[in-house]
């Protein structure tokens, strides 16, 4: 980006006056002294800019400040006063003319073409035909990327990416990768231990919501993998019969894939790949319409005994996942089919439901002439922006201040911060892959899970402090009991309890579950099976690709040359040697589970797991056309130029 753009952004940073949605701007010429909002004595963005200038004083950002920023600069106003003002700001107006549209204008195809002409490629006519496809988010995730012939990127029903392009099927086409018995691996490395963490169930619930919002595999109804249970397994074969198996459904594949090595099998994602709140709103028209109240933009809801709003019950029989003995009508209707699985997920969904309806009240009071559809679509954008901001907060929280650039954005763990184009306008090159926006990968879908962190119990804490304990597994698909317990009481427990960390093993209620002889389930076995049947690379394959990728990571994770490199525990090393032929064969799930290295100050996940999660969350956020930072930067540019014109 040109120096003038960088300067303009920093100038505009002091002008936090703009309407939050960039497409609404229409300015008259005026001359007003900018209002400056203080961000306190320690501003992460200011610190980050100072770090960039210090490390590269002659770079494009360094030039803006003539190579230095006073050490005493602590606010945006200080940066504003340090900028070498660029003289050609007026010329920049033409470059952002596409941002100037009245909020009341009827938006046409011609306006869409004008608005997005700076992208430099032909727009898909199916996206520009109606403003519901380009001005607001679509339900299915299409038309986020507007390029003709590629508008399906990130939408439901299409394949996920591979982080580094590697596909590891046994035959290179579709046959699951070979390896040791997954149940034996589960027994050897994932048995429950007691290692506690300082994190709370609230964090775990948010992470589940983030993952579920971007990734949803559809189980095949015709393809299954049978995993023999080791004879004498204490949970599944205590009678030493030797004929017990675990059945795992393959992930449904994208039609037409899996025919050759040049067209290998690809798993189908049934959620949008954007962090857009689809876990709440749904990704199809049928689901979204069922969940709406059609009054002031609100979502439908039930009223609990405490008078609070809860998700509506599934009277209209939307397809949902359940457990034997629980009818889907007794579950809450919600955008993600897995949401009733536990009370943590239900709590986060209920919070976002209430936030959506709260914002609808505010918007409708401020815009009395807006109809239900306009309020709904606008608030859906606002909630999605809040959700994205929360996801970024999780990333920052998991790195200490000693990690380079951690206070601003975690992409600095993959690249030298000085090399990043940190003034972000869409499309941002670092979030693109092969000329397209990056979307959630297969590897994230398999590894960015939190099975070791599932607590044994949840606390239900009344306002007076009275506390009861509920088994986590017994809360599965118990939606009516969730409402009876009350969201406030559950949330008090979620912010009070702690959860196991990644060294704790997996709760046996999920690793060795059986409702009867026909329904056996091991969440670890399932993960390893899905890793192999979707052609996910092994631990060494993945991180060898990572170390040699275009990303050029600052934070290295080296492949393991020996089994001893996976663990310093002699028993774990012995088990690895007895089960695997070579360190090259160790599954990604197992390698991450054994990995003890962590980012400084992080006690939540091993750095190998966080790298995969952060890499994907970063790309998904910044490849999203509706990411709030793009609207903010565009708004600031437009406002600053309007004031200077």
Q: Where are the beta strands (DSSP E) in 65-192?
A: 158-159
pLDDT at 95: 38
Q: How far is CA 80 from CA 44, 336, 639, in A?
A: 16, 45, 15
What tens digit of pLDDT does each residue of 229-240 get? Answer: 999 999 999 999
Is the per-residue pLDDT at 24 higher than 70?
no
pLDDT at 176: 97
Is the per-residue pLDDT at 638 higher than 60?
no
Mean pLDDT of 541-558: 85
| Strands 268-269 and 158-159, bridge-based pairing | antiparallel
Lowest mean pLDDT among 150-154, 200-204, 425-429: 425-429
Helix axes 523-533, 182-189, angle to 10 degrees: 130
Q: Is 229 left (phi over 0), alpha (psi -120 to 50) or beta?
A: beta
pLDDT band at 396 (very low <50, low <70, confident <90, very high): low
User: Residue 147 has what DSSP assignment?
Assistant: B
Contact 493, 459 (CB under 8 A): yes
pLDDT at 388: 84
What tens digit of pLDDT does each residue of 619-636 get? Answer: 888 899 998 877 665 554
Handedness of CA 183, 189, 195, 196 (dihedral sign): negative
What tens digit of pLDDT does each residue of 324-344 get? Answer: 889 999 999 999 999 999 999
Q: What angle do CA 108, 112, 368 make, to 5 degrees?
A: 60
| Strands 519-521 and 513-516, bridge-based pairing | antiparallel
Calculate the average pLDDT of the chain: 82
Whether the link from the prior residue into 627 is cis, omega within 30° of 0, is no
What tens digit of pLDDT does each residue of 30-60 get? Answer: 343 334 333 344 456 677 677 777 777 776 5
pLDDT band at 609 (very low <50, low <70, confident <90, very high): confident
Is 451 among the annotated ligand-binding positions?
yes
Tokens of 99: 């941002």
Q: Is 523 helix (H, G, I), strand (E, B) or coil?
A: helix
Lowest mean pLDDT among 36-40, 326-330, 469-473, 593-597: 36-40
pLDDT at 71: 81
- Alpha carbon distance 12, 18 (integer Å): 10
Is the per-residue pLDDT at 409 higher than 70?
no
pTM of the model: 0.81
What element of type H or E holds 130?
Answer: none
pLDDT at 30: 36
Contact 421, 61 (CB under 8 A): no
Which residues, 6 or more positions from 376, have their beta carbon under 8 angstroms from its beta carbon?
292, 297, 298, 360
In the block, residue with structure tokens 């889907």? 328
Mean pLDDT of 12-39: 34
What tens digit of pLDDT does each residue of 501-530 get? Answer: 777 889 899 999 886 556 899 999 999 999
What element of type H or E holds 332?
Answer: none
Identify which of 480, 489, 497, 488 has the alpha carbon closest to the alpha carbon of residue 460: 489
Contact 322, 334 (CB under 8 A): no
Is the per-residue pLDDT at 642 higher than 80?
no
Distance of CA 130 to the CA centre of its chain: 28
The residue length of the chain stands at 645
């Amino acid at each position: 980006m040109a120096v003038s753009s960088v300067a303009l952004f920093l100038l505009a940073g002091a002008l936090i006056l703009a309407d939050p949605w960039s497409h609404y701007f229409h300015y008259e010429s005026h001359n007003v002294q900018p209002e400056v909002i203080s961000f306190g004595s320690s501003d992460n963005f200011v610190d980050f800019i100072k770090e960039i200038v210090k490390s590269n004083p002659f770079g494009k950002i360094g030039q803006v400040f003539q190579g230095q920023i006073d050490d005493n600069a602590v606010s945006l106003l200080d940066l504003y006063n340090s900028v070498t003002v660029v003289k050609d700001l007026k010329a920049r107006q033409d470059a952002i003319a596409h941002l100037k549209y009245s909020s009341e204008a009827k938006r046409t195809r011609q306006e869409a073409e004008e608005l997005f002409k700076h992208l430099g490629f032909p727009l898909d006519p199916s996206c520009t035909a109606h403003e519901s496809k380009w001005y607001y988010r679509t339900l299915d995730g299409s038309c986020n990327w507007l390029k003709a012939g590629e508008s399906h990127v990130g939408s439901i029903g299409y394949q996920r990416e591979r982080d580094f392009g590697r596909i590891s099927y046994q035959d290179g086409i579709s046959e699951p990768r070979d390896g040791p018995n997954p149940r034996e691996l589960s027994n050897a490395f994932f048995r429950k231990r007691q290692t506690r963490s300082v994190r709370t169930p609230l964090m775990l619930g948010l992470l589940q919501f983030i993952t579920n919002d971007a990734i949803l595999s559809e189980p095949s109804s015709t393809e299954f993998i049978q995993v023999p249970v080791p004879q004498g397994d204490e949970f599944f074969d205590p009678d030493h019969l030797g004929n017990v198996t675990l059945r795992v459904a393959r992930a449904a594949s994208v039609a037409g894939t899996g025919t050759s090595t040049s067209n290998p099998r690809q798993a189908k994602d049934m959620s949008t790949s954007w962090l857009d709140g689809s876990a709440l709103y749904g990704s199809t028209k049928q689901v979204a319409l069922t969940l709406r109240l059609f009054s002031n933009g609100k979502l439908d809801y039930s009223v609990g005994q405490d008078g609070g709003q809860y998700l509506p019950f599934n009277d209209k029989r939307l397809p949902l996942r359940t457990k034997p003995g629980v009818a889907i009508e007794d579950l809450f209707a919600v955008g993600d089919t897995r949401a009733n699985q536990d009370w943590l997920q239900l709590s986060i969904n209920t919070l976002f439901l209430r936030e959506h309806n709260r914002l609808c009240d505010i918007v409708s009071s401020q815009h009395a002439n807006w109809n239900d559809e306009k309020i709904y679509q606008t608030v859906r954008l606002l909630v999605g922006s809040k959700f994205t901001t929360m996801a970024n907060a999780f990333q920052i929280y998991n790195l200490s201040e000693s990690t380079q650039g951690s206070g601003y954005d975690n992409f600095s763990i993959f690249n030298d911060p000085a090399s990043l184009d940190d003034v972000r306008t869409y499309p941002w090159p670092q979030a693109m892959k092969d000329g397209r926006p990056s979307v959630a990968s297969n590897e994230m879908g398999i590894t960015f899970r939190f099975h070791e962190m599932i607590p044994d119990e949840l606390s239900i804490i009344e306002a007076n402090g009275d506390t009861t304990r509920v088994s986590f597994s017994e809360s599965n698909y118990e939606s009516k009991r969730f409402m009876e317990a009350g969201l406030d009481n559950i949330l008090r427990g979620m912010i009070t309890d702690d959860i196991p960390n990644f060294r704790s093993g997996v709760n046996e209620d999920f690793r060795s579950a059986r409702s009867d002889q026909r329904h056996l389930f091991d969440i670890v076995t399932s993960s390893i099976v899905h890793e192999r049947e979707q052609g996910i690379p092994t631990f060494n394959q993945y991180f060898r690709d990572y170390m040699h990728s275009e990303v050029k990571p600052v934070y290295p994770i080296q492949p393991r040359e020996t089994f001893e490199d996976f663990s310093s525990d002699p028993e774990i090393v012995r088990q690895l040697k007895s089960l695997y032929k070579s360190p090259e064969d160790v599954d990604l799930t197992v390698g991450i589970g054994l990995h003890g290295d962590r980012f400084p100050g992080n006690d939540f996940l091993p750095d190998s797991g966080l790298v995969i999660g952060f890499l994907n969350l970063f790309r998904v956020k910044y490849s999203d056309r509706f990411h709030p930072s793009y609207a903010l930067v565009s708004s600031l540019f437009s406002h600053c130029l309007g004031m200077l014109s």
